[in-house]
Chains A and B, each alone.
Chain A
Amino acid sequence: MNLEILLAIAFGGSFITYISGRISKKLRNIFAILISVGLIGFIGSLFGNTTEETICPGFWNFPLNLRINMLSWFFAITIAIIGALAIIFSLQYIKEKERTDFYYLMILLVNSSMIGIVLSGDLILFYIFWEIMSWSTFLLISYSRGPAISAGMKYIVMSIAGSVAMLVGILSLYTHYGTFIIADLSNQLSLNTPGFVLFIFILFFIAFGIKNAVWPFHTWLPPAHSEAPSPFSAILSGILVRMGMYGFLVIFFVIAGIDLFINLGSRLVHFNTILAWIGAINIIIPTFIAMLQNDSKRLLAWHGVGQGGYMVLGIAIGSSLGIAGGTFHIINHTSYIALLFLVVGAIEYCTKGIRDLNSLGGLIKKMPVTFIGALVGACGLIGIPLTNGFVSKWLIYKTLITDGYPFLAFAALLGTWGTILSLFKFIHNIFLGQLPEKYKNIKKPPFSMQLPIIILSLIIVTFGIIPGIPLKVINQIMISSGIDSLNITLWGVNSETGTINMLNIFTALLITGVLIWLIFKGSKKAKQIDQYDNYTAGTYVPKDKYHYSVEFYGPLNRMLRPYLKDFIDTFYLKLAKSVKNLGNGIRQIYAGDIGYYVTYIVFFLALLIFIQLKWTLW
């Protein structure tokens, strides 16, 4: 009963918000916040439940199930929290734009359908909510006009292509096993031939890979995330893309089972090895493409693609450390990429729409809270110790090294190097350096924008120091899917080949920090001078920018750029163009001349009679 009420509140709430928006704006804002925060509370109260219930109407003759277990709860609470934070952020962000009721309706609808996806216990409900999520996302991406139109189109066409693959997969499963319910399908796939299992895996890989932006299918993500409104980019990049990861977890570990997943393949090559290599390519290439970007949102979007590679890599290895690392990386990535998108949103709001990295600079003096948020987020993305990114990446590195995949470990480390480079460019170009003249009078972002940034930074640091809290939840997920569990303590993970204990690291860094501060305090103060009080050999100090931010990694860019052209994107565009040409060609059958049309009719008849007389088919 609880789950139905939850979904009813979520969906009904979005419509109530839209209708109340017609009455008054304040009422709508109150409703939006109330519903999103209320959902967090509701889902939090369901912690630990493992129930499954059938909804009465049923679709055709199949029963529909809602289900909550630890995996669903894990994702649901993340969705609710990120959704609430994005809505709080958008209270001020969206105020001046058009059609704000529609915006709130769509963002709440996206949230509700994502909660519906993770709460569904059978594949039909999964598909229904997946599709609702897809078209509401499309409408919301196209909401900001201009270049968002083609971005939204790319997104929805690829999303529907993935959905039809998923439909074929779901129905093939139904044909063989007679049920749609996930719980009944668990561990059933091992009874079938490897060819069928491979077919199912490939179909679902296409479907979830398109949503998750795994390497061959990633081209929709950068335009879509950079053109969407910023709070919605946070949701998109944070959790919507990871619905694909949820799908991977369901299909690979719940339905297929860990043994089948690891053992599928011939002696030469295994399915999960190929998946791991795809994850590795997915880490390296997008991270370096991110470095070449000049638009802040596009840079973050490419990082969204890149970090997905870590998750795929972790899951593909199949060891318990790897799966824990990959799954933990999902919520870690959610927290810091949402944080970074919200930071960019705040900057956009304050500078009235500037996203170009080459024209910003020195905003640390004007927006200190935002800077700290960006710094924490960047540290998390890179994986500096004391942030949660460090723990998940450590788990992935450890499993790669101990299970004997040196090249993949090198690829993962290379990805971190690329992340460090591009994020430093991001922070330097926006916050450090010299403040340009035109931004001298910008105000700080309002509190409703700063609050989500502060909350997310706290989450990053807390989970970094005390990773045991989420890891315990992940441990339970792994136990319930039949994977070996890890030995989790409150501060880290113990395993035979080496322990990670954040308390030790935290204490060490704290002591070092205190020592440095004492040394700094005890020494003489440096003299503060104005930036322009400088010796320039007799001429005036020009007030131009000293801040060199254009062509930031010039030589590296020139070296890498020929290798980093996105040829997959070109391929897809060529495919779309050839379909268009095919359509134009086929149109010309209907040429406008009645003689042709009558010829078609008579020709059809003659063809049928001729075939019958010659070959007697019928």
Chain B
Amino acid sequence: MSFAEFLNNYMYYIGAFGLIFIGLFILLTKKNLVKVIIGLSIMDTGIYLFLIAIGYVHEGTAPIFSKPGLNAEGMVDPVPQALVLTAIVIGVAILALALTLAVKLYKHYGTLNLRKIKEQKW
């Protein structure tokens, strides 16, 4: 298929994987701890987008039986949305814990440069 069709069909996947790779890139290369945590969050966002994109049905509506006569084939898949809600909660918990630890780490070390926080080694 042509490039435009490809983009049209797989837009969400490209965006999701783009976010995931940006998040991975930040995790791999950045030195500041807060930036790394933000990168973790970006990567998580990308994963959520990926999950929802899997459940997408072309031109479907929200999966709620709001009026009688709706059939299930015209709706997007609700299961990934449940997965994403759970995953968002888990992600928030990890983020909160990470930021708390970052605050405590700053109190101990005085710096957030990950290249300098290397006491536990070998």
- Whether chain A touches chain B in the assembled complex (some CB pair under 8 Å): yes
A contacts, CB < 8 Å to B = 587-588, 590-595, 598-599, 602
Count CB-based A-B contacts (< 8 Å).
29
Q: Report yes or no: B27 in contact with A593, Cβ–Cβ below 8 A.
A: no
Q: Nearest chain B CB to A14's CB is how many angstroms away?
A: 42
B residues 69-122 with Cβ under 8 Å of A? 114-115, 117-122
Q: Report yes or no: B29 in contact with A595, Cβ–Cβ below 8 A.
A: yes
Q: Nearest chain B CB to A329's CB is how many angstroms away?
A: 52
| Interchain CB contact (< 8 A) of A602 among B24, B115, B117, B120 | B24
Q: Nearest chain B CB to A582's CB is how many angstroms away?
A: 14
B28 at the interface (CB under 8 A from A): yes
Q: Report yes or no: B24 in contact with A594, Cβ–Cβ below 8 A.
A: no
* Sampled A-B contacts (12; CB under 8 Å): A587-B122, A588-B122, A590-B121, A592-B119, A592-B120, A592-B121, A592-B122, A594-B117, A595-B31, A595-B114, A595-B115, A598-B28
The verdict on A594 contacting B114 (CB below 8 Å), with A599-B28, A602-B24, A602-B28 known, is yes
1/0 per position for B11-37, CB-CB distance to A under 8 A? 000000000000010011101000010
A210–B86 Cα distance when bound, in Å, is 61
By secondary structure, the B interface counts as loop
Task: Give the size category of B's interface with A.
Answer: 10 to 19
Q: Report yes or no: B24 in contact with A591, Cβ–Cβ below 8 A.
A: no
Q: Report yes or no: A592 in contact with B118, Cβ–Cβ below 8 A.
A: yes
When distances are taken between beta carbons in the complex, the residues of chain B under 8 Å from A599 are 28
Closest to B31 in A: A595
A516–B117 Cα distance when bound, in Å, is 90
1/0 per position for B27-71, CB-CB distance to A under 8 A? 111010000100000000000000000000000000000000000
Q: Report yes or no: A591 in contact with B122, Cβ–Cβ below 8 A.
A: yes
A590–B122 Cα distance when bound, in Å, is 5
When distances are taken between beta carbons in the complex, the residues of chain B under 8 Å from A598 are 27-28
A-B contacts besides A590-B122, A595-B31, A598-B28, 20 pairs, CB < 8 Å: A587-B122, A590-B121, A591-B118, A591-B121, A592-B118, A592-B119, A592-B121, A592-B122, A593-B114, A593-B121, A594-B114, A594-B117, A595-B28, A595-B29, A595-B114, A595-B115, A598-B27, A599-B28, A602-B24, A602-B28
When distances are taken between beta carbons in the complex, the residues of chain B under 8 Å from A592 are 118-122
When distances are taken between beta carbons in the complex, the residues of chain B under 8 Å from A588 are 122
A592–B114 Cα distance when bound, in Å, is 10
Q: Nearest chain A CB to B112's CB is how many angstroms away?
A: 12
When distances are taken between beta carbons in the complex, the residues of chain A under 8 Å from B122 are 587-588, 590-592
